[in-house]
Structure 1
Amino acid sequence: MIKRNILIASAFFSFSLGIAQQYGGMWIPTELNEKEMKDLGMKISAKDIFNTQKPSIKDAVVQFNGGCTAEIISPKGLLLTNHHCGYGQIQSHSTVQNDLLSNGFWAKNMSSELPNPGVTVDFIVDIKEVTPQILQGTENLQEPELSKKIAANIETYKKTQKIEDYQSISVKSMYYGNKFYAYVIETYKDVRLVGAPPQSIGKFGSDTDNWVWPRHTGDFSMFRIYADKNNKPAEYSKDNIPYVPKHYLPVSIKDKNENDFTFVFGFPGRTTEYLPAIAVEKIMTEIDPARIAVRDVALKTLDEKMRTDDATRIQYASKYASVANYWKKWIGEVEGLKKSNAVQKKKNYENSLAAKNPAIKTTIDQINKLYADQAPFALNNAYYSEVVRNAETLMLANIFSGFIASAEAGKLDEKGIASFKKRLASFYKDYNAELDAKVTAKLLALYANKTAPQFLPAGFAELKDENQNIINFEKLSKNSVITGRSNVNGASLSENIDKAFSNQENLIKSIKKDPVYELFMNMRNTYMKSADPQFTSLQTQIDALQKKYMAQQMETDKDRKFFPDANSTLRVTYGQVKGSSPRDAVTYDYQTHLAGVMEKYVPGDYEFDVPQKLIDLYNKKDYGIYKDKTGDVPVGFTATNHTTGGNSGSPALDAKGNLIGLNFDRQWEGTMSDINYDPRFSRNIMVDTKYILFIIDKFANSKWLIDEMKIVK
């Protein structure tokens, strides 16, 4: 009976995998699952998507500023991405007197577009598999020699390739080191802000609606790529001209229907679809809950201040959104892993593989033991990493520890010091030492209470009282050089970095005696001694076995078509426009409308207020060509595309390659798709091109931008 149940479970898992493969997967664009895409309704060919011999859709898709995705939508280099992807740039141009976050920004012509120093976009020129070259001579090597040889082979490969001066090559590992691919990249460095709706549209629903469907967020912003007179990459110059792309995306305002084919083209960040059951179990029951607990404390403390002080709200807006994003994602991930029975499905799959290949059982047994041995160290790693990341004062101390180490090793030249000072200036610009003293005090109390005694620094048991910590840490912060509240060399670091650095030797001595720095270094040194070496050593062994297990899966499961986990490289995912039924008696449509925005509207609310002009347009039903068959303006829609972080801003395209939406989120019930894609729950969320154009045209009166585009009616 037990054996029969296992077989039934295995059969069910194989069936669900078949469904997941039909819709899931993040495919390298040179290795598309073209037949399946066409079976689902695609009308173009794989060569139309990625082609190095003539213009193709890949020439309109870029990685935006190293993280998000963006796409070109006009012959003049007009770029579309998410509002939250451009949020940092919108914020940098904002002041209390000229609050572009609240008011929005729309250039009236090209000369009024705003430069963004340091912002880049990357085009992928070519992709080649280079596994034989990179793994040459590694057959009998183990770590760390294996990594050294691979790194050397990568450098050798790069040196043999002929590229232009403005191009670079990146070699990426796939399938846990079983394959390698080389990417030729062109980077453009003059990217200007063209337009952004007010955050009451671009961030409508804010944290309450984040990762949630139904969604009514106009999550888009617009930039433009500029180039030199030869259309080549160049640093910012007033003499640069709009970039002329090889290809730009036509923008469709056709109505959408359920089961329409769609695909998303972008740079998904990181997935781990091929982990063993024990790894998923640890994430679900230990690692994610630890991360969530730390961010809970940080977010609540920041929110209290941001709601009562506009200057703090603007100063911390981007940082708060960044912290909140994955906090909520992890909450949904835990629930989704439980709901989709991910751990048991993984175990069933492992059993089915082992029945075909007994060597896999040996690998799994070894992996299980390593994860069990690593568990206490991994949990401490999760708490320590999140506390240092979310307590800005500790993060600052960590930055200074790196600076001091480099200075004492004689590795800092004038250029390095200038770069470090620039980094500090950027940090202090959006740093409130008094507010973060409270955040840090609370997080230290959490760390003291949640960390096993063998991992705690001496004296940290005294930090378990949160209220007493707030009093004590405020005193430390006031007397701290690194927080900028105490002077060194006659100046505050937060107000006059150059003067504070006028005597570098004295500065370093002062930092070493700084009470906040001493506290952090005590915490860091204890972690580095009691947890990090053990965690890292075990992880190295786990990674080696994961590589072996990945190879065994691909060798054994001949019925499964494999795709590599996401790693911020260019990918295609595809599926169908579709609603969902994530819970008992709950069914969601695939489309939301402007009427839904007005249903959620709460005057003056932090998350659900809307501009008066949008209300007027709604009341007058002044929708122009942007309404759909219902007579309303569509705002968002969902589909079964398999997306993750980094796909933010990715173009959602129809069967003919026209732009129909802008990817910006996933449905909360399916955020576990980074680990366990389940077609029943996994939905990506996109803002509809009709809503984007409606806002540009009717709300912003920026028809000059519409006139640049090719509109498909």
Structure 2
Amino acid sequence: MTKKFFSLLLVAALGLTNLAKADEGMWLPLLVKRLNHVDMQKQGLQLTAEEIYDINNASLKDAIVQFGGFCTAEFISKEGLLLTNHHCGYDAIAARSTPQADYLTNGFWAASRDKELANPGLFVDILVRMEDVTPKVLEGITAQTSEADRAKMVSERMKALATEAKGSENYVTYVRDFFAGNEFYLFVYERYSDVRLVGTPPSAIGKFGGDTDNWMWPRQTGDFSMFRVYADANNKPAAYAATNKPYQPKKHLPVNIGGVEKNDFSMVFGFPGRTQRFMTSEGLKIAVETSNPARIKLRGKRLEILKADMDKSDAVRLKYASEYASISNYWKYFQGQNAGVKRMKTVEGKVENEAKYNTWASADANRKASYGNVLADINKAYGEQKEYTLSQVYLSEAALAPAAAKFALNLVPLQKALKEGKAEDIKKTADAIKAASKEYFEGFNVPTDEKLFAAMYQMYYNDVPKNQHPDIFKTVESKYKGNWNKFAAEAYKKTFLTSEAKLNAFLAKPTLKALENDLIFKTASSVYTNYTTNIAPKLMASKASMDKATRLYVAGLREMQADKVFYPDANSTLRLSYGTVKDYEPRDGVHYAHYTTAQGILEKEDPKDEEFIVPQKLIDLIKAKDFGRYADKNGELPVNFITDNDITGGNSGSPVINGRGELIGLAFDGNWEAMSGDLVYDKDYKRCINVDARYVLFVIDKFAGAGHLVNEMTLVTTPSPSGDQTVKPVEAITADKMEVKVKEGKVKTKTKKEKKKKK
């Protein structure tokens, strides 16, 4: 019996031979041909692997962009028209809104190209190519290479490879590590920075359901917005200019309004943010028991303060709308994640699998030498990190929550320059601060920020271990008797950080004394110094040993389960996931259909609740069933549908694509029952919530009267293919020649009143 055969028998005995479930995983498109294509074909894919990813010819990858570095968007016309989520465009929409022209509340639709709105700072990245550079990064590195030398060599090589690949100033290049540093891939993007707002529905459609429905199913949310990418005369990236032309993408997605059925193939193509599915049980315990509860507590208080002031003023509401939505989103997410980990007994499952891992590692002398101690090393590192977990969380969630405190850190380099007394450096630093201050002063309200400052630092003071407090806390204790409201009032009264005129006056003639006497700067600087001097070094020391142990642990897992197809954790690089349109049963006696209709909008409508207000025109259209060509076979208007695609943050705005490569919807959310998805995939409950392409086009065409945008698109009426269908030719027709061939079935929903009654 060979050692390899014995190893496989041992793995089988340990119950670790399950192959990756087809619906699980966020896969690199570069590797689809080798790893996934056969499985995808079985489920209904009718495209070749090259039609998905090809660097020499147009492929699906050319239609997908990273939007602003935090979301996904896709081209849906040959004129550079982009579709993404309403919540992805939220910040840009809010920035262009005023109380007099409130695009968040009322929506916006450019009647012509010259009416489309520029968005300084917004960009999209289009993938040119990706490449496995693992051999180049790890050349000559062995098990005998010290960890310090390894880290230095890897870092230098990653930087050199990215620099070499850049070639053009328009390219954005980087190398990312995968499987905890066991593999490395190079990514080359072309960045376009002239991205203009084309259209957005009112928040009553784009954010329908608000925080109540966030992460929940059933949904009836029209979560979409539209932008357009512009380029120079040669179709290359260029700064905003009136002479720029709409970008001509190599590929755009046809939009299918033929509808989807249960069990139809679905592919989500986008830029998922971060997952941590190789995290061990000790890491999960810290997240569930310490960091998540702290984040929930702090974000809850921030939401309470912001909401009170936003309700009093439209101007304040618009300033904080995007920030409030972001805070709220993950405030609820962390609650759901904890609930999901508990329900799935994820920690217990990890403990059991780690015991099996140790048994496997100990069964062979060579394996024991390589992997025998890695879990013990990981647990030791987590133990060291746990002591400082609250300091980590409270730094980002509390200390830097007030805008003034966060901006004050921009002045730390000025403090250094003033101490060194170099006039040239002082002026250069002051000029940079002045340039950055414009956006800062536009984005916050001083009275609100003062309330946040007092509340956040009070919680920091109360909750973080005293031996980890910054020195400024001693001043508040002695001079202000620990009264953070009193301290905040004086700080905001005397600071130059709440007035553009005062800041500019200071920057014109900066002095070290004036800077260090500013209480807001003094507070932020004290927190920053304390963290970088007393806390970060301890965390970095444990991180170094954690990184090595985790790399070996993941390598061991892949060696132990040699018959399993592994996928890497998400890291904001282009991925695809594939699955099917699917309903689910979240608990005993409850069945959720795979789609919802406009009838659910009327069932939830409540003019007294801002989350469930419905525009009168939409009410009239729904009641009259005036859905035009976007209605289904039964005359109903589909709104949202669900699939079992594996997604996470960053996938927002990703296209949901059928087996022929056509857009059938837009991913915008996950479901409450599977909020543990960043840590573990839930094969029973994981669902991706999507807005149906038919509802998107209905809102654009029938509600907004912007049919000229629909006319730009390539529309398809042939229903999406299912896994058991034979290949059918794509029928692409013009917008004025439509036939409706769509799905059947009824939706089971609960009205808002029924939900409240149950609660």
Shorter-chain TM range is: over 0.9
CA contact (8 A) 2:166 2:188 kept: no
Cα distance, 1:591–1:397 mapped onto 2, change above 3 Å: same
> CA offset at residue 14 of structure 1?
4.6
My pick for the range that moved more, 351-360 or 648-657, is: 351-360
CA contact (8 A) 1:13 1:349 kept: no
Within the candidate set 388, 399, 405, 2:410 is matched to 399
> CA offset at residue 383 of structure 1?
2.2
The aligned residue for residue 3 of structure 1 is none
For 1:205-244, list aligned pairs within 5 A: 205-244=209-248
Q: Output the CA distance in 2 between the equivalents of 1:349 and 1:35.
A: 29
Q: Output the CA distance in 2 between the equivalents of 1:516 and 1:553.
A: 49
Within the candidate set 370, 382, 389, 2:393 is matched to 382
Within the candidate set 467, 474, 477, 2:489 is matched to 474
Q: Output the CA distance in 1 between the equivalents of 2:547 and 2:553.
A: 10
Cα distance, 1:174–1:387 mapped onto 2, change above 3 Å: same
The aligned residue for residue 625 of structure 1 is 629
For 1:129-528, list aligned pairs within 5 A: 129-139=132-142, 140-161=144-165, 163-358=167-362, 359=368, 360-405=371-416, 408=419, 412=425, 417-457=430-470, 460=473, 468-484=483-499, 491-493=501-503, 497=504, 499-503=505-509, 505-506=510-511, 508-528=512-532
> CA offset at residue 463 of structure 1?
6.6
How many residues are paired up? 694
For 1:67-86, list aligned pairs within 5 A: 67-86=70-89
> CA offset at residue 381 of structure 1?
1.4
The C-alpha deviation readout for 1:209-259, integer Å capped at 9, x for no partner, is 111111111111101111111111111111111111111100011222111
> CA offset at residue 470 of structure 1?
2.4
CA contact (8 A) 1:59 1:124 kept: yes
Q: What is the identity, as a one-letter code, of the residue corresponding to 1:80?
A: L
The aligned residue for residue 704 of structure 2 is 700
CA contact (8 A) 2:414 2:426 kept: no
> CA offset at residue 408 of structure 1?
4.8
Cα distance, 1:160–1:94 mapped onto 2, change above 3 Å: closer
Matched, 1:30 2:30: yes
Secondary structure of residue in 2 paired with 1:592: strand
Secondary structure of residue in 2 paired with 1:21: coil
> CA offset at residue 396 of structure 1?
2.3
Cα distance, 1:463–1:671 mapped onto 2, change above 3 Å: farther
The aligned residue for residue 91 of structure 2 is 88
Cα distance, 1:161–1:203 mapped onto 2, change above 3 Å: closer
Secondary structure of residue in 2 paired with 1:195: strand
Q: Output the CA distance in 1 between the equivalents of 2:53 and 2:425.
A: 44
> CA offset at residue 205 of structure 1?
1.4
Cα distance, 1:11–1:78 mapped onto 2, change above 3 Å: farther
CA contact (8 A) 1:298 1:391 kept: no
CA contact (8 A) 1:77 1:224 kept: yes
CA contact (8 A) 1:445 1:466 kept: no
Give me the TM-score of the superposition, normalised by structure 2.
0.87
My pick for the range that moved more, 382-391 or 284-293, is: 382-391
Cα distance, 1:563–1:477 mapped onto 2, change above 3 Å: same
> CA offset at residue 379 of structure 1?
2.8
The runs of 5 or more residues in structure 1 that have no matched partner are: 1-6
> CA offset at residue 528 of structure 1?
3.4
CA contact (8 A) 1:265 1:570 kept: yes
Q: Output the CA distance in 2 between the equivalents of 1:143 and 1:123.
A: 35
Q: What is the identity, as a one-letter code, of the residue corresponding to 2:254?
A: P
CA contact (8 A) 1:13 1:348 kept: no
Secondary structure of residue in 2 paired with 1:370: helix
Q: Output the CA distance in 2 between the equivalents of 1:708 and 1:199.
A: 24
Q: Output the CA distance in 2 between the equivalents of 1:252 and 1:597.
A: 23
Cα distance, 1:420–1:670 mapped onto 2, change above 3 Å: same
CA contact (8 A) 2:23 2:579 kept: yes
Give me the TM-score of the superposition, normalised by structure 1.
0.93
Cα distance, 1:422–1:450 mapped onto 2, change above 3 Å: same
Cα distance, 1:10–1:437 mapped onto 2, change above 3 Å: farther
Q: What is the identity, as a one-letter code, of the residue corresponding to 1:538?
A: S
Matched, 1:118 2:121: yes
Q: What is the identity, as a one-letter code, of the residue corresponding to 1:481?
A: F
The runs of 5 or more residues in structure 2 that have no matched partner are: 1-8, 363-367, 718-759
CA contact (8 A) 2:647 2:688 kept: yes
The aligned residue for residue 4 of structure 1 is none
> CA offset at residue 361 of structure 1?
4.4
CA contact (8 A) 2:259 2:664 kept: no
> CA offset at residue 174 of structure 1?
1.0
The aligned residue for residue 6 of structure 2 is none
For 1:652-671, list aligned pairs within 5 A: 652-671=656-675
Cα distance, 1:621–1:467 mapped onto 2, change above 3 Å: farther
Q: What is the identity, as a one-letter code, of the residue corresponding to 1:492?
A: K
Cα distance, 1:189–1:384 mapped onto 2, change above 3 Å: closer
Q: What is the identity, as a one-letter code, of the residue corresponding to 2:357?
A: L
Cα distance, 1:361–1:585 mapped onto 2, change above 3 Å: farther
Cα distance, 1:312–1:458 mapped onto 2, change above 3 Å: same
My pick for the range that moved more, 657-666 or 281-290, is: 281-290
The aligned residue for residue 559 of structure 1 is 563
